[in-house]
Structure 1
Amino acid sequence: MTQVFNFSAGPAMMPKAVLEQAQAELLNWQEQQTSVMEVSHRGKLFIELITQADKDFRELYNIPENYKILFLQGGARGQFAAIPMNLIGEKGKALYLTSGHWSATAAKEARLFCEIDEINILEQSDTLKVANLDFSNVAEQYDYVHYCPNETISGVEIFDVPNVGNSVLVADMSSNILSREIDISKFGIIYAGAQKNLGPAGITIVIVREDLIGKARKSTPSIWNYEVQAKSDSMINTPPTFAWYLCSLVFKHLLKEGGVKAVEQRNQAKAKLLYDYLDQSEFYRNTVAIENRSLMNITFTTGNDELNAKFVKDATANGLQALKGHKVLGGMRASIYNAMPIEGVQALIAFMQKFAEENK
C-alpha cells in the first residue's frame, strides 16, 4: 500500500509518535485502568497534566511569566468576538490589518462588538505581497491592532512584526504557531486554534499579557471573559480534556525533538524544497511574493481548472491527500505543518514531476 501523506490545512496531521502514545494509553492512562477522557478534570492527575502542559508550552515558546496561557473552546472564531469584548476600553475602537480571508473575517466579526478601522495591507498585482507594516503614527488611537501573520487560504505569511508603537498587538496565529521562533513580548495577545500545529480540533490556546486581563465589558459572557477563565484555570466548565491531553503530548514531543528552533529549521527546509521546484517548473506556478511565502501553506496551480481537478484526484489515488485548494481560491494547497515529514514533500514533488510529464 502507498504511504499516505496528509496535506490537509486543518484538522491537520499530528506527530505519529504522539498518536501512538495516545493509542497505547487510551484504555489505561496513568495506570488508572481508564481513559484520560473518563477522569475528572478537577482530579489530582489531570491537574498535574495541565500544570505540566503550561510549563512545557512556556518552555517551548519562551513565554514570559507576565503572560497567562488559557486553553479554551470555540476555536479562533470564538476569539474573533472575545477579543473586542475583552480589550475595547477608553479609546473605543480597534484597527484591523487585513491580508486575506481570515483577517478580513476577524474584522467582520469585530464590527458586531465595536467600532473598527480596517486597512488592507495586501498588494495584489502579479503576486500577492504585504505592503507597509509601520503603523506607529496611527496605532495608539486604538485599543488594539489585530492581524493574521499567516493566511492559510492564500499561503501569505507575514514574517516581520507590525510596528504599532505602544498600542496592543493581537495576532491570530492559528496556522503558524510553534512553526518558528518569535518574540512573545511584542504581542498583547496571541491566539490559535489547535488543529494545525498544537493538537486536535476542539481546543484553542490564548496567550494573553496579564495587564490586559480584567478589562472585559460587563456584558461579556463568562466563557469569553479572560479574567474569569484565568482565575478558573480555563475550567469554568468541563474542558475538552482529550484535546488538552493531546496538546500536552505534542508539547513534550516537540521539546524532545529540539524545540521550536529545530522545528523552524525543518520547516524552512521543507518549504524551500517545494518552492525551489515550483520556481523552476513551467507547468505549475505560485503567485505569492518570495518575501511573503508561507512556510506552512504552499499554494500552486496549473492555470487550468480541469487539470487542477485531475491533479487532486490522481494525487489522492497516490496517497497524497487533501491537496485541493480552498474554495475561495481554487488550485492546490500543500499544508506542510510541523508534523509533515520532509519525505512527504519529497513524495509530493516526485508526483508533481510525473504529473507534469504526463499532462503537458
Structure 2
Amino acid sequence: MPPREAVNYFGAGPAPLPTPVLEAASKALLNYEDMGIGIAEMSHRSPQANQILADTKAALATLLDIPDDYDILFTQSGGSGQFSAVVFHMVSIWVERARQSMEKQWANDDTMKNASEHERTQALKSIINTTMKLNYLVTGSWSLKASQEAARLIGQEHVSIASDSRTLRDGKFGGIAQESDWHLRHPVSTGVLPELRTPALTWMCDNETVDGVEFPAFPKTLEANDGDAMVVADMSSNFLSRKVDVRKYAVIFGGAQKNIGTTGITIIILRKSLLPPQAQMASPTLLRQLGLPVGPIVLDWPTIAKNNSLYNTLPILDVWIAGQVMQRLVNTYGDKKIVGQEEISNQKAGALYGALDAYPQIYNVVPDKSVRSRMNICLRIKGGDADAEKKFLAGAEERLLLGLKGHRSVGGIRISNYNAVSVQGVEKLVKYLNDFASG
C-alpha cells in the first residue's frame, strides 16, 4: 500500500484535503482540546462548538473580505439542497413584496378596497402568475438541475432560461453564450408596479464541475442591473480559489467537499437584507393559498440564521475541518488573502492546459478556451477513443495519479485542480501528459 505522500488525487469531490489538517483532525477525533472526548462526540451547542463556528466565520470573512452586511450560514443537504432552499426563500420575499405593493395600489381602487380576502388573494395570484420570473443561466449539468428543481417546485412558467449553452454546441455543454444573447426576463406587464418588475432571482453556477466551464468574471450584464438582478451563485467547486466581489451577489453558496472540507456541510453567504427583520416574507398560509410551496424548516434561512446555524444538529467536525482549511489559507497568504491562492490555482491550471494544448492530436479540451475552468479540466483523448482513454487512466494509476476518470454522464478525462492538489502533484501529471502523448 503506497504512503499518502506518494499519491496524487485529482478527483472531483469528495476531494483531497491538506494532510496537516487531516492529521490534526485525527487527534481532535480522539481528544479535542484535552476535553477527554472527541470533537465528533461533543454537543453542537457547547461553548467549544460555538467557538468553532465563530472562528470559521471569521476566517472566511477575512479571506473573501465579506462585508458586515452579509451573514454566513452553515447547513446540511449539500449544494443540491440549496437548489430548493433558494427558490423557497427568494420566491417568498418576492411574493410578499408583491402583496404589499398591490395592497397599496388597491387602497385607491374602490372595487378592490371592498373586496373579500379570497378575491384579493385571487387577484394577487393572477399578478404572480403573469409577473413572477426566476432567471437561470444554464451553462452545464448543475445549473440545469437547479433550473429543473425550480420548475418542479413552482412551475415551468415561472422559470426563464435566460441562456442555454447547449444551443451553442449541438446539444452539448462546453461554452457560455455572449451576454448580448442572454434573454433575462424583467416583467413589464401593464399595471404592474415598478418594484415588481425585477426577477425573483438570477441564477448562475460559477463553475460547472461536470462540464469544465467557469465564468471568467462576473457578468457585466448583471453588474449593470445594480443589484436588482438578485444574483444567486453556486460556487461549490471554485469556492476559495479566486477573489470574489461578494457585494455583487445576493447569495453565494457551496458544498464544502471540493476546496473547503469534508462532505456534510454547505456554506451560504447572503445579504442580511434578505433576512428578517429587513426582509419580509410571505406567510405559509398565503403561499399555500397561492398554490406555491412551503419549504421544510431545516432549509429555512431565517430559522438557520436566528439559531446561529444550530437549529438542528450541525456536524461540528465538518465545520471545524473547513475552518482549519480556511485558517491555513489565512496564515499562508497573509495580506494577499485569497488572491494568494488564486495565483497558485492559475499557475497549476496554466501548466495543465499548456501541456494539453501542446498535443492537439492527442488531447481535446472539451470547453471553449474562453470559459475553461481552472478547477475541473475536462478532455477527451484522440477524439474520445475508448481504448486510448482506458490506457491513459491505467498508466496514470501506475504512477499513482488517481481520480482522473470523467463524470459518468459525459465520460472522458477530468482533472480536478482543487486547492489541496499540490504544485508538485500537477508537475507529475504534466510529465505524464507529455510522456503519454510522446509514447
Question: Structure 2 length normalisation: TM-score?
Answer: 0.78
Q: Which residue of 1 aligns with 2:123?
A: none
Query: In 2, Cα distance between the equivalents of 1:128 and 1:42?
Result: 45
- Map residues 164-313 of structure 1 onto 2, 5 A cutoff: 164=222, 165=225, 166-214=228-276, 215=281, 218=284, 219-258=294-333, 259-281=337-359, 282-302=361-381, 303=383, 304-313=385-394
Q: Give percent identity, aligned residues only.
A: 33
For the aligned residue pairs, the C-alpha RMSD in angstroms reads 1.9
Q: Which residue of 1 aligns with 2:435?
A: 354
Q: How far has the Cα of 1:15 moved from its partner?
A: 1.2
Deviating 4+ runs (over 6 angstroms):
none
Q: How far has the Cα of 1:101 moved from its partner?
A: 0.6
Q: How far has the Cα of 1:75 moved from its partner?
A: 0.4
Amino acid of the residue matched to residue 120 of structure 1?
Answer: S
Q: 1:78 aligns with which of 66, 71, 81?
A: 81
The structure with more helix, counted as a fraction of residues = 2
Query: In 1, Cα distance between the equivalents of 2:355 and 2:254?
Result: 30
Query: In 1, Cα distance between the equivalents of 2:403 and 2:241?
Result: 20
- Map residues 10-29 of structure 1 onto 2, 5 A cutoff: 10-29=13-32
Q: How far has the Cα of 1:158 moved from its partner?
A: 0.5
Task: Indicate the SS of the match to 2:30.
Answer: coil
Amino acid of the residue matched to residue 341 of structure 2?
Answer: V
Q: 1:46 aligns with which of 44, 49, 66?
A: 49
Query: In 1, Cα distance between the equivalents of 2:375 and 2:340?
Result: 15
1:4 is the counterpart of 2:7? yes
- Map residues 109-188 of structure 1 onto 2, 5 A cutoff: 109-114=149-154, 115-122=158-165, 123-124=168-169, 128-133=174-179, 138-139=185-186, 141-162=198-219, 163-164=221-222, 165=225, 166-188=228-250
Report Cα offsets for 1:274-314 as digits up to 9, x if no partner. 11111111311213222211110111111211211221122
**Is 1:157–1:292's contact at 8 Å kept on the other side of the alignment?**
yes
* Unaligned ranges ≥5, structure 1: none
**Is 1:127–1:289's contact at 8 Å kept on the other side of the alignment?**
no
Amino acid of the residue matched to residue 174 of structure 2?
Answer: L
* Unaligned ranges ≥5, structure 2: 96-130, 187-196, 285-293
Q: Which residue of 2 aligns with 1:106?
A: 146
**Is 2:140–2:173's contact at 8 Å kept on the other side of the alignment?**
no
- The change in CA–CA distance for 1:229 and 1:216 in structure 2 (over 3 A counts) is farther
Amino acid of the residue matched to residue 255 of structure 1?
Answer: V
Matched length: 358
Query: In 1, Cα distance between the equivalents of 2:178 and 2:310?
Result: 40
Amino acid of the residue matched to residue 169 of structure 2?
Answer: Q
Q: How far has the Cα of 1:217 moved from its partner?
A: 5.6
